[in-house]
Amino acid sequence: MSNRVPNDVPIRSLHSTRRSFLGRATSSVGGLALGMLLRAESADAFAPSASSGVAHLKPRAKRVIHLYMAGGPSHLETFDEKPKLMAMDGQPMPESITKGQQIAQLQGQDLKCFAPQFSFKSFGQSGQRISSLFPQLGAVADELAVIRSMKTEQINHDPAHMLFNTGSTITGRPSMGAWLTYGLGSESQDLPGFVVMTSVGKGGQAQPIAARQWSAGFLPSRYQGVEFRSTGDPVLYVGNPPGVSPQLQRTTISAVRGLNQIHHDAVDDPEILTRIAQYELAFRMQTSVPELMDLSNEPQSTFEMYGTQGGDGTFAANCLLARRLAERGVKFIQVYHRAWDHHGEIKKSMEITAREVDRPAAALIADLRQRGMLDDTLVLIGGEFGRTPMSQGGTGRDHHIAGYSYALAGGGVQGGISYGATDELGYHAVDNVTHIRDLQATILHLMGVDHERMSVRFQGLDIRLTGVEKAHVLRSILA
């Protein structure tokens, strides 16, 4: 039997969704009623629920910059000082602490205490205790709220990344940036509302990450994060080929838009509207992206502050670019540094990693402050989990989920405070225990969104970023 399509079959009959087919079947009274219901379903399928939408609360932040330390930075060499662990270096970890606990790669091994590899110092008027490895972050310590009682559920990297970014380990859920741009929109008309940048770094095993960490999931794909490359053109093919003028490009896109609109009118597919919007955004980006990357108006003092001349693919260059994206109205910016997986040689590796991250992270916070942007920009510094107080191979630390640290600055957060604590060996979060869901709820709250009301019905369920288990806004850290 031939699979060829007869020439007289209309194209729209070959690409018909269930909803559009039934929506056109309204010749009878019953069909008319069904069509009315389906049109209502189509209108609401990807709209926030009736109790959701913009401005549940007065927003304290307009945008988020997440400095994502992928691989699991050790809280014991960054923000969580443990003198008792130092005193017990080399001694067996008490079984009362580790019995029945989930461990990644240390199963069946002798669990021995591993002292913090660097001293801690008091910084700022607040006296925040921060590792001596991070003097520049120490210089902005009075801007930081340090959460020392984080915990998560996933002990391996990929599912832990999924849980932090999407609130679930189920593939296909929207990421936090997608939720925020979907619910709140973006101030930028010429750049994506959600941008992702990555750098590998030199201080540890390169942590693999995947585009599903910034996916739109079941939301229309126009809300997904757009990855900007760290070197060369941040977006491929952003320039016109030789011989193609802006006027010709505009004419071409207008013609494509018209064809896509005809297709959408026939099949009622929301992804066609996404395609139309993305073509238009891509055209505007042909002007906005070169302007974004033109650093000629940045003074030399800015380059010195960040430790980069820009465009070199480093974390420092991406931090500078993050500030420029924030100035241009981008809602959610993730800057991944992928060198925090320290299973061995943590002392040597941390020295390298800290040098790559300390100055640009602190520079971003200070730069936002001097430009009057920090109060409405929420900056996050941390990873998917922490590292064990026990040694791995004598020189490294394994994955750890029961207690670790995160730092926040700006965006309605109090500066110069500490929140929560782990036990005296840094194993369990014991005071003001903070699950990832609580941090997600707090981020949404600061952006003006009630996490319990921001939901979308999908496959018969009302799905939200923080899931169905109870999450708490961390009101004690709010300014």
Residue 385, CB-side half-sphere exposure with 13 Å CA sphere: 28
Q: What is the dihedral of CA 263, 268, 274, 276, to 10 degrees?
A: 30
User: In this predicted structure, what is the pLDDT of residue 34?
Assistant: 39
- Alpha-helical (H) ranges within 130-269 are 135-139, 157-166, 176-184, 246-267
> What's the token pair of residue 14?
């070959």
User: In this predicted structure, what is the pLDDT of residue 240?
Assistant: 63
Q: What CA–CA distance (Å, rounded) separates 317 from 356?
A: 11
Walk me through the domains of the chain, giving residue ranges and CATH numbers: 14-44 (no CATH), 63-233+287-477 (3.40.720.10)
| DSSP 3-state of 406 | strand
User: In this predicted structure, what is the pLDDT of residue 264?
Assistant: 66
Report yes or no: 358 and 137 within 8 Å, Cβ to Cβ: yes
What string of DSSP letters covers 303-337?
HHHHT--S-SSSHHHHHHHHHHHHHTT-SEEEEEE
Mean pLDDT of the chain: 85
Strand partners, 378: 64
> What's the token pair of residue 383?
């990873």
Whether the per-residue pLDDT at 473 is higher than 80: the answer is yes
Q: Which of 253-257, 404-408, 441-445 has the lowest mean pLDDT?
A: 253-257
User: In this predicted structure, what is the pLDDT of residue 235?
Assistant: 67
Q: What CA–CA distance (Å, rounded) separates 54 from 50?
A: 11
User: In this predicted structure, what is the pLDDT of residue 38?
Assistant: 38
Its pTM stands at: 0.83
Report yes or no: 410 and 380 within 8 Å, Cβ to Cβ: no
Whether the per-residue pLDDT at 263 is higher than 80: the answer is no
> What's the token pair of residue 17?
């969704």
Q: What is the dihedral of CA 294, 297, 300, 302, to 10 degrees?
A: -80
Q: Which of 7-16, 34-43, 82-91 has the lowest mean pLDDT?
A: 34-43
Residue 313, CB-side half-sphere exposure with 13 Å CA sphere: 9
| DSSP 3-state of 145 | strand
For residue 188, name the pLDDT band (cuts at 50, 70, 90).
confident
Residue 313 or residue 31, greater confidence: 313
Looking at the chain, the whole-number percentage of residues with pLDDT higher than 70 is: 79
Summarised one tens digit per residue, pLDDT across range 89-132 is 999 999 999 998 998 999 889 999 999 999 999 999 999 999 99
For residue 474, name the pLDDT band (cuts at 50, 70, 90).
very high
Residue in the block written with tokens 């991406």: 318
The count of other CB atoms within 10 Å of the CB of residue 298 is: 15
CA distances from 223 to 92, 185, 193, 195, 264 (A): 49, 9, 8, 10, 19
User: In this predicted structure, what is the pLDDT of residue 32?
Assistant: 43
- The residue among 356, 316, 360 whose CA lies nearest residue 339 is 356
Report yes or no: 407 and 147 within 8 Å, Cβ to Cβ: yes
Q: Which of 72-86, 184-198, 229-243 has the lowest mean pLDDT?
A: 229-243
CA distances from 17 to 12, 22, 257, 412, 456 (A): 10, 9, 20, 45, 21
Q: Which of 11-20, 250-259, 281-290, 303-312 has the lowest mean pLDDT?
A: 11-20
- The residue among 74, 71, 70, 68 whose CA lies nearest residue 387 is 74
User: In this predicted structure, what is the pLDDT of residue 42?
Assistant: 39
For residue 8, name the pLDDT band (cuts at 50, 70, 90).
very low
